[in-house]
Amino acid sequence: MATTATAATTQKQVRQAADLFDKCRRFTAAREAMERGVYPYFQPIEQSYDTEVVIRGERKIMVGSNNYLGLTHHPYVLERAGAALARYGTGCTGSRFLNGTLDMHEELEIRLAKFMGQESSLVFSTGYQTNLGIISSLAGRGSVVIQDRLNHASLVDGAMLAGGEMVRYPHGDLMALRRLLDRHVGAPGGVLVVTDGVFSMEGNIVDLPSIVALAREYGARVMVDDAHSVGVLGETGGGTAQHFGIEGEPDLVMATFSKSFASIGGAAAASEEVIHYLKHHARSLIFSASMPPSAVATVLACLDVMEREPERRYKLWENAIYLREGLRTLGFDTVTSETPIIPVVTGNIDRTFLFWRALFDAGVFTNPVLPPAVPESSCRMRTSVMATHTRDQLDRVLDAFKQVRRQLGAP
């Protein structure tokens, strides 16, 4: 009997021996990069001057920011944000569903719906939460979510949280999309086709008219993530649908405020009945603190500036074309970029870290992109331009890329 009890105790100890934190001890790749001096992440910015930042006392040209229109330092935007702090305080201290809705939130939702070509809109605290809330609320049991393989992680995570099924098609492959629509046309919970408007690691624009036409043919709904499109694409910056002249045709459009809107937060825009449903079912809205007053005021101010200063968008595109063509002239592969997002292929992971460090030392801040976001042989520097970059700054960036290529050789 004693032997049996001892065996049971030993077995129990074995079952308890696995440590949840073992994976933490085994994760050494980042520390190895730190020791080599090529770790590129969590770089502490001490001061920002819009297109330039100070890191550890050294000034760098920032070509790794999503601040496309250069509005984070606009005097009017700063003034409006400060006024909101004085009027409402630093935070809402509650969710939109309860005590966290301000009159400014509702004003912003009215303006955004018009700006994005939809009937109604709903503001969330972050862009990530927006996508989680939309998809997990709408795609329930029996639903199918069809996604482009290069969609943003938040779209994928939203579908994983939902009760339905997620399937993916190769990037931009409309024939593959048609096959998936044909296969799932009878899904009892409906079908949602989800796509980025501008793909954040490639810099290319989705063929939205074709996707909308395919979805209509099969009775599916279409959601577009316009995180990198709003403020950038379209006659007035209205996004991908406006760019193609099909405003109002996508069933649902998402935007984030951490890019052209120089703030933080996100919004869903759709028909009034869809927005009403999300208000009462999106867990990432109901169970999360509300977007703070200064952030809301910033977005409202940015909308004002977009209307008053359309020349910013023109300058943004002028800068994007200049930097992209300059990089291509130097022999760099900029993939399929056709927007202010300009990836530069650098090769494998090790070379990419070295490339990043050399650019950093030359006074240029970029973002290295590694697997699983891209194939291991196609790692890259993700650069993005702002409307406020000067020609001299862009020339210095091109000169830095030229020097590093000479130093490290072609990938």
Catalytic (active-site) positions: 200, 228, 259
Please say whether the beta carbons of 170 and 205 come within 8 A. Answer: no
The span from the CA of 354 to the CA of 37, in Å, is: 9
- Give the DSSP H/E element, type plus range, for residue 307: helix 293-308
Q: Looking at this protein, which amino acid is placed at residue 220?
A: A
Sequential DSSP letters for 92-114? --SBTTTT---HHHHHHHHHHHH
Alpha carbons 42 and 47: distance in angstroms, whole number: 15
- Integer Cα distance of 330 and 324 in angstroms: 10
DSSP H helices, 125-207, are 127-138, 153-161, 174-184
Do the beta carbons of residue 159 and residue 147 sit within 8 Å?
Answer: yes
Element (H, E) at 147: strand 144-148
Q: Single out the residue of 296, 308, 338 nearest to residue 237, CA to CA.
A: 308
Q: How far apart are CA 304 and CA 108, in angstroms?
A: 11
Hey, which bits of 273-369 come out as E strands?
A: 341-347, 364-365, 367-369
Cα distances (angstroms) measured from residue 203 to each of 6, 196, 323, 384: 63, 11, 13, 9
Task: Give backbone dihedrals phi and psi of 353, rounded to 5 degrees, phi first.
Answer: -60, -45
For 81, 120, 124, 179, 217, the CA distances from 292, given in Å and listed in that order, are: 10, 21, 10, 44, 42
Instruction: For residue 4, give the 3-state DSSP assignment.
Output: helix
Distances (CA, A) of 86 to 94, 292, 327, 400, 404: 19, 12, 45, 43, 48
